[in-house]
Amino acid sequence: MISYIQSIAAQASVDKALEAAAAAQESADFAQFTVNNLWILIAAALVFIMHLGFSTLEAGFVRKKNVVNILFKNAMIICIGLLTYCLCGFNLMYPGDFNGFLGFAGVGLYPGPDDMTAAYADYTYWSDFIFQAMFAATGATIVSGAVAERIKLMPFLIFSTIFVALSYPITGSWKWGGGWLDELGFYDFAGSTLVHSVGGWAALAGIILLGPRSGKYTAKGIRPITGHSMPLAAIGVFLLWFGWFGFNGGSVLSADPELVSLVFTTTSLAAAAGGVGAFFCSYFMTKSHDLSMVLNGFLGGLVGITASADSVSITSSIIIGLIAGVIIPISVTAFDKAKLDDPVGATSVHLVCGIWGTLAVGIFGNFDEGTGEIMDQLIGIVSIGVFTFVVAFILFYILKVTMGLRVSEDEEERGLDMGEHDMRAYS
C-alpha cells in the first residue's frame, strides 16, 4: 500500500514537473514571438523613414522652383502605397497556393483566427502587412525622382496607383509569394530586383516617353542642371542609409540576433565601399570631387547588397558595394550620352546597381546547389525587367495620349511649384 501511494505521489510530481516545463516553454515561445513581432514593427517604422529620405534627397537634387512638386508626389506616394496594398496588393503578392504566375486571395485584409499567433509566423498578420506595405510604395518613389521637373502631377499619381496596385505585387509574388521564380531557385533577400530594379525599369519607361528637361541636351553638348540644395540631398541619403537597417534587417523576418547583426554589418560595409568606389571613379573620370556621385555611391552600395546581405561574407559585401559605387559615375555618364535625362540618378542607383546586386548573389552567395545560381538570377532579372518595363511603358503611353504626360514649356520654365500647386517652397 505504501509503495502504491509513493508511486502515485511520484507520478503526480512528474505531472507537475511536466506541466511546469510546458508552461515555461509556452512562456519562452511567447517571449520570442513578442520580440520577433516587435522587431518587425520597428523595421517597418525604419522603412517608413526611407520615404522621408527619398523626399529630402529628391528635393535637394531638383531646382528650387520644383521642390513643392517633388515633395507633394512623395507625400502622396506613401498614401497610395498603403491604401492600394491594403485593397489588393498584399493579396496579389501573397495569394497562398497559386499557379506561380498570378494569384489573388481577395479584396481587403481578412486575418484568420490563427494569424495573430505564432501559428501564423514569427509575427502577426498585421505586422506582416504593415512591413510589406512600407516596401510597396518605394518603387513609385524611385520613379518620381527620375521623371522630376517635367511630368504632370495627375498622370503621375494615376500611374503610381496602378503600378503599385498591380505590377509591383505580381512580380513580387513570383519570388516572395512562393511563385515560379522561387521554385526555380532565384534569390533576392530584400529586393535588389523585386523592389529597386522594378522601380528603375518603370523610371526608364517614363524617361523615354517624357524626354529630357528643356535645355539639358544642346547642340554644344550636355548642359548640367544642378540641384538647388546639396545639404538636403546629403540629409536624404543618410536618412535612407538609416532606414535601410529596417529594409534589410527586417527582411530576416525574425529578431535572430546573429543574422540581424550580420545583415546590419554587410549593409553598412557595402554602403561605405560604394561611397569610396564612386569617389575614386568619379575623380578619375572628371578630375573633381563630386558630392552627388559619392552620395549616390552610398545608395548604389546599399541597393547592390540588398539581394544578398544575409548570405555573403564580410569581404564579399565590401566588393559588392565597391563595384556598385564604381558603376554609379559610369552609368550616369552613359545615360546622359544616350540623352536619357534622370535628375537624381535613380536609374543608375536602382536599376543598374539592382541588376548588379542580383547577379552578385550568384557570384558571392553561400547557398546549397539549386539556389541563387547565376543563370537563375539572370532569368529572374530578365523576366521581371521585361514585365515591369512593358507594363510601365503601356501605362505611361496611355496616359500620354489621353491626358498628356508633360507640362507645357512655359510651365516647365516657371517651375511646377507655381504651375501645379500655386505655391513656392521658399519665399
Task: Give pLDDT tens digits for 309-331.
Answer: 999 999 999 999 999 999 999 99
Task: Please check whether residue 8 lies inside any domain of the structure.
Answer: no
Q: What pLDDT, on the 0 to 100 scale, is given for residue 47? A: 97
CA angle (280, 283, 285) in 5-degree steps: 110
Query: Which of 401, 132, 191, 158 has its CA nearest to residue 309?
Result: 191
Q: Worst-scoring range by mean pLDDT, 22-31, 228-237, 248-257, 348-357? A: 22-31
pLDDT band at 31 (very low <50, low <70, confident <90, very high): confident
What is the domain count for the chain? 1
In the predicted structure, residue 165 carries a pLDDT above the cut 90: yes
For residue 81, the enclosing domain spans 30-421
In the predicted structure, residue 370 carries a pLDDT above the cut 60: yes
Q: At 321, which CATH number?
A: 1.10.3430.10
Element (H, E) at 366: none
Task: Please check whether residue 373 lies inside any domain of the structure.
Answer: yes
Task: Please check whether residue 426 lies inside any domain of the structure.
Answer: no
Identify whether the C-beta of residue 189 lies closer than 8 Å to the C-beta of residue 250: no
pLDDT band at 119 (very low <50, low <70, confident <90, very high): confident
Task: Please check whether residue 287 lies inside any domain of the structure.
Answer: yes
CA–CA gap between residue 172 and residue 175 (Å, rounded): 6
Q: Worst-scoring range by mean pLDDT, 109-113, 168-172, 418-422? A: 109-113
Task: Please check whether residue 179 lies inside any domain of the structure.
Answer: yes
Task: Give pLDDT tens digits for 394-418.
Answer: 999 999 999 999 999 999 999 999 9
Q: Worst-scoring range by mean pLDDT, 68-82, 86-100, 107-121, 379-393? A: 107-121
Task: Give pLDDT tens digits for 229-249.
Answer: 999 999 999 999 999 999 999
Q: Write down the pTM of the prediction.
A: 0.93
Task: Please check whether residue 95 lies inside any domain of the structure.
Answer: yes
In the predicted structure, residue 2 carries a pLDDT above the cut 70: no
Q: What pLDDT, on the 0 to 100 scale, is given for residue 385? A: 98
Task: Please check whether residue 185 lies inside any domain of the structure.
Answer: yes
3-state secondary structure of 221: strand
Burial of 187 (0-12, 13-18, 19+ CB in 10 A): buried
pLDDT band at 164 (very low <50, low <70, confident <90, very high): very high
Task: Please check whether residue 345 lies inside any domain of the structure.
Answer: yes
